[in-house]
Amino acid sequence: MAGKLRLLFTDNFARNLDAIESFLSEEGRAAFQRLLDRLFDEICPQVARFPKSGRFFLEHQVGSTEAHALVERLQERLRTGDELREFVVDAFLVLYLVRGSRVYFLSIKHHRQLSYDLLRFWS
């Protein structure tokens, strides 16, 4: 990918970080700080350098009719050339979108939290 990529964090991503901090509670303060350190010291530079290092999000097998409908709605919102990818960081899943010279960090969840809420991002 030619040129320098610009990393952008959505409001949803920031809300997810707040939710993770609450989810981990006081006992998880050190774990939350480790997450932030890894995110900004390791993951962001890696994604900026290798934006396609995450796996394709839409390659997951879906079994239910509802999931198929949601995937179709999501695909309708993607532009030609967009790549929706996910990256595993310790116990966390990071969802990001590569769009041209920009990388949008869409969502982050602890693996024990509920799934991604993409409807809020795309509305």
pLDDT tens digits, residue range 23-70? 888 888 999 999 999 999 999 999 999 999 999 999 988 889 998 898
In this structure, what are the phi and psi dihedrals at residue 91, rounded to the nearest 5 degrees? Answer: -95, 15
Strands lying side by side in the sheet with 6-9: 6-9, 102-110, 92-99, 83-89, 55-56
Domain membership of residue 68 (yes or no) is yes
Range of the domain at 114: 6-122
Indicate the pTM of the whole model.
0.84
Query: Looking at the predicted structure, is the pLDDT value of residue 122 above 90?
Result: no
Calculate the average pLDDT of the chain.
89
Query: Looking at the predicted structure, is the pLDDT value of residue 8 above 70?
Result: yes
Scanning the chain, the segments in alpha helix (DSSP H) are: 11-24, 29-38, 44-49, 65-77, 118-122
Domain membership of residue 1 (yes or no) is no
User: What number is the average pLDDT over the span 77-86?
Assistant: 96
Percent of the chain as helix, strand, coil, to the nearest 5: 50, 25, 30
CA–CA separation, 101 vs 122, rounded Å? Answer: 20
Domain membership of residue 97 (yes or no) is yes
Query: Looking at the predicted structure, is the pLDDT value of residue 2 above 80?
Result: no
* C-alpha 36: how far from chain center: 14
pLDDT of residue 36: 96
DSSP state of 26: G
CATH number at residue 117: 3.30.2310.20
On whether the CB atoms of residues 116 and 95 are closer than 8 A, the answer is yes
Domain membership of residue 59 (yes or no) is yes
Q: For the chain, what is the domain count?
A: 1
Quickly state the pLDDT bin for 110 (edges 50, 70, 90). confident
H helix or E strand, kind and range, residue 39 = none
Query: Looking at the predicted structure, is the pLDDT value of residue 115 above 60?
Result: no
On whether the CB atoms of residues 5 and 102 are closer than 8 A, the answer is yes
